[in-house]
Structure 1
Amino acid sequence: MSDSQVETVEKEKNDIADDAASYWMEAGYSEGGVLRKVDYAGLAKGLPKELEGIKIVDTDTHIVESPDIFANAPVGLKDKLPRVVRVNGVDRWKVGDRDFGSLGGNVIRADHQKLLGRLSFPKLEQGHPGAWQIKDRLQAMDDMGVYAQICFQNSGVTQAGSLMSLGDNELAKTVLRMYNDASIQRQEESGQRLFTMAHLPIWDKAAMEAEAERVLDAGLKGFVLPDTPERLGIPSFNESYWDNFLALCNDRGAPLNFHLNAAVNPDGMVWKGFEFEQVLSVVATMYSICNSATIGNWIVSGRLDQFDKLKIGLIETGIGWVPFAIEALEHQFREMMGACKVQPKRRPWEYFHDHFKVTFWFEEYAPKHMLDKIGINNVMFETDFPHPTCLYPGVQDHIVKVLGDHPYEVRKQVLERNAVELYNLPF
């Protein structure tokens, strides 16, 4: 690389290393917001008759990393591992003197009310205990009529960019290993109802491959990755660096998950001078739509011909944008790909239907009217519990509203079987 390219990569790495400190914007904890009164007893009715016999899988939820997750530290690392410190009334992760950001989003109050217009309650104990405690989480799931949940991290303390910036490879790998161990234990203690996606030390090829095999052998169901690792100075997915890992996922049916990590950063699309609520409204919307870049990158790469059983979940994406995105790729294939050295063997719609699954929560039009076009086998359901804009309360009312006119077999496919297939769930 040229000096300017090296400088650009280093800047990107430094920017991403700082992401954890601002993982949830400070304004998200400021005074304000609106508390939505929730008739929890009236809404916590479990499954309605229209959905009886369906084990609903909520494919996007978040587990707040418990403050004691790193308590059983290996010898010599106890004082180095992340710890929770209350700073100006906000619970935050610290590693040494480094601020790794807040504990993440939880807008469901301990008494079931919902905070609107903010990212979280500042203190762990103010939020719903189901955000981090298994027994309370399972009760909340039962009340919502949800059988199983796919879980993702809630803070920035396990993100690759932040860990790489520590300059301590053993410490960084230990953080991820302990996170994955906690995920394995949670899955077992939940009775195989809470399935947390594994994190990997993607900056260390040998360690990444070893940890990937270890956690699959231990029963974890997939991985969450950044969709543009080159921003971290790590080779792109179209380079040989990833071959062994992708072959492992391809052969064992372990899905890659890209959780709102669109290849386009929407922060730069927001007008200057906006208030916090305005910024988040635009950014959250654009994150979903920009997943078309993620699909496009994989489809044109040739990787899906090389690894023809690879499964990819685009999580917290929404689904209504998919037909336009794939039609646009179909057009570009006709217009642009003829002269390309990489000649895909299939068309964009075929790649999408063969490899991808997307998720909906708040949408009404797309799940009512677009399932046939998007693909009944390609759509999953989520709530994003307990994050801002999560589908709470009234989960079952919304499901019946948007899927109630579809045949029972379609409801079961979207709400249960697609997730079971993607994540190899044991039911």
Structure 2
Amino acid sequence: MEDLPKIISVDDHVIEPPNVWQDRLPQKYKEVGPHIERHPVKSMTFIGGKFAYEMGEEGEGPLADWWVFEDKAIPHTRLAAAVGVPREQVTVTPITYEDMRPGCYDQKARLEDMDLNWTEAQMCFPTMPRFCGQTFTEMNDRELGLLCVQAYNDWMVDEWCAGTNGRLIPLMIIPLWDAELAAAEVRRMAARGVTATCFSEIPPFLGLPSIHSGYWDPFFAACDETGVVVNMHIGSSSKMPSTSEDAPPAVGSTMTFTNCMMSMVDFLMSGVLPKFPNLRLAYAEGQLGWIPYILERADKVWEANRGWGGVGDLVPNPPSTYYAQQIYACFFDDQHGLTPDALDKIGVNNILFETDYPHSDSTWPHTKETAWKLMGHLPPATIRRLVRGNAIDLYRLDLAV
């Protein structure tokens, strides 16, 4: 096997260590702010696209480490810390920190696991705050919620990514309940060198205004101004696709790309992209193969239905124009999306690579082999763009192309 260029992964995850908020919140908020407690789990299920759990009394179930804050509690689960565990043992099971591979939450161990996986750099989405920080929108105390967002972002820069020579790439969260506060946080963290933020793929699923409403314009304007990339992970709307309340998880896992697809069409038809031409979007874990058709369909709808489709004044050019200029797709295992015809339509410069460590879909520790299986037929220059070059350009990384 030839040497693959070292991987830069734009979709991985960090399980926050217990000290993140306790070290940073004011004294009056330490008790009510996020902290770890160990309790039994009475029940834990993932059915119909919904994750549900119940804390038990002593002896009522297996132990888990729980994030406890205000009147809420969130348990750790094996699905979020699956690396190093045989696939058949990756189940909807509560766990403690001792049950996790240390690379899930420890910086030094993470870098060692990256070395094992031919990975030079990673950008990590949050776990306890969920994929775009929506956990903190559910807090009763908005002041505490904002402090928790800021504490996470400061920890991301000052601890998780610090001292790694750019190998760990900071990714901020925002206070989703207030677009002006979100814009201020983007500017605060951009001044600290952060070039990426999380956002919800479909905000109305979180009870928030849609991107069509204009509500988010201050946030988009801040990203447009600072060059901060908007990253949307599948599930960042807290609603995974499913066909029924009793559908097994495999149904939703097969269809996860549909959230990305709906979100992308939203943006293509919203007028947001022409309004903010420096805005860049990246869809994490959405894969690639569906993109050629949806671009074809969007352009046909734009052309045929401009009189009544509600986009005539908002979208002056075919939607695919804005995709090519402003949208990036991320993949970890998609053969169809890398066929010559599909790749031509998706765009070699619009694709990013990921390893999804430490989730159950992760290709760790065999990502190099997976990458060669998927991309070995491509020219070396194309492979380099997909596995690292596009990420370096998009996120303005201080790493060799």
From 250, 265, 285, give the equivalent of 1:316: 285
Matched, 1:74 2:46: no
Corresponding residue of 1:60: 11
Secondary structure (helix, strand or coil) at the match of 2:112 reads helix
Amino acid at match of 1:178: A
Matched, 1:353 2:328: no
Q: Which whole-Å deviations, capped at 9, do the CAs of 1:123-179 have from their partners, x for residues lacking one?
A: 212211011111111111111101000110122468654323322011111111111
Corresponding residue of 1:27: none
Corresponding residue of 1:178: 151
From 257, 269, 293, give the equivalent of 2:243: 269
Matched, 1:136 2:87: no
- Mean Cα deviation higher: 81-90 or 69-78: 69-78
Secondary structure (helix, strand or coil) at the match of 1:57 reads strand
Corresponding residue of 1:307: 276
Amino acid at match of 2:2: K
Within a 5 Å distance, the mapping from 1:58-137 to structure 2 comes to 58-72=9-23, 73-88=25-40, 89-102=63-76, 105-109=80-84, 116-119=89-92, 122-137=95-110
Corresponding residue of 1:13: none
RMSD between superposed Cα atoms in Å? 2.3
* Runs of 5+ unmatched residues, structure 1: 1-47
The 8 Å contact of residues 6 and 119 in structure 2, kept in 1 or not, is answered as: yes
Q: Which whole-Å deviations, capped at 9, do the CAs of 1:66-105 have from their partners, x for residues lacking one?
A: 1111122313111111111222111111113421343670
Aligned-residue sequence identity (percent) comes to: 26
- Mean Cα deviation higher: 307-316 or 221-230: 221-230
From 308, 327, 350, give the equivalent of 2:296: 327
The 8 Å contact of residues 195 and 227 in structure 2, kept in 1 or not, is answered as: no
For 2:218 and 2:245, locate their aligned partners in 1 and report how far apart those are by CA, in whole Å.
43
Secondary structure (helix, strand or coil) at the match of 2:119 reads coil
Corresponding residue of 2:350: 378
Within a 5 Å distance, the mapping from 1:178-327 to structure 2 comes to 178-185=151-158, 186-261=160-235, 265-270=239-244, 272=246, 274=247, 279-327=248-296
Aligned length: 371
Corresponding residue of 1:34: none
- In the superposition, the TM-score normalised over structure 2's length comes to 0.86
Give the ranges of 4+ consecutive aligned residues of structure 1 lying more than 6 Å apart after TM superposition.
none
- Mean Cα deviation higher: 291-300 or 87-96: 87-96
From 166, 177, 184, give the equivalent of 2:139: 166
Q: Which whole-Å deviations, capped at 9, do the CAs of 1:337-362 have from their partners, x for residues lacking one?
A: 23345321221222211111111112
* Runs of 5+ unmatched residues, structure 2: 41-62
The 8 Å contact of residues 263 and 294 in structure 1, kept in 2 or not, is answered as: no
The 8 Å contact of residues 92 and 102 in structure 1, kept in 2 or not, is answered as: yes
Change (3 A) 1:264 1:178: closer
Amino acid at match of 2:253: A
Corresponding residue of 1:3: none
Corresponding residue of 1:11: none
Amino acid at match of 2:82: V
From 381, 384, 387, give the equivalent of 1:409: 381
Secondary structure (helix, strand or coil) at the match of 1:410 reads helix
Change (3 A) 1:116 1:333: farther
Change (3 A) 1:301 1:407: same
Following TM superposition, by how much is the alpha carbon of 1:323 offset from its aligned partner in structure 2, in angstroms?
A: 1.1
Matched, 1:49 2:5: no
For 2:244 and 2:72, locate their aligned partners in 1 and report how far apart those are by CA, in whole Å.
29
Change (3 A) 1:290 1:341: closer
Change (3 A) 1:137 1:161: closer
Amino acid at match of 1:361: F
Following TM superposition, by how much is the alpha carbon of 1:193 offset from its aligned partner in structure 2, in angstroms?
A: 1.0
The 8 Å contact of residues 262 and 294 in structure 1, kept in 2 or not, is answered as: no
The 8 Å contact of residues 69 and 179 in structure 1, kept in 2 or not, is answered as: yes
Change (3 A) 1:307 1:320: same
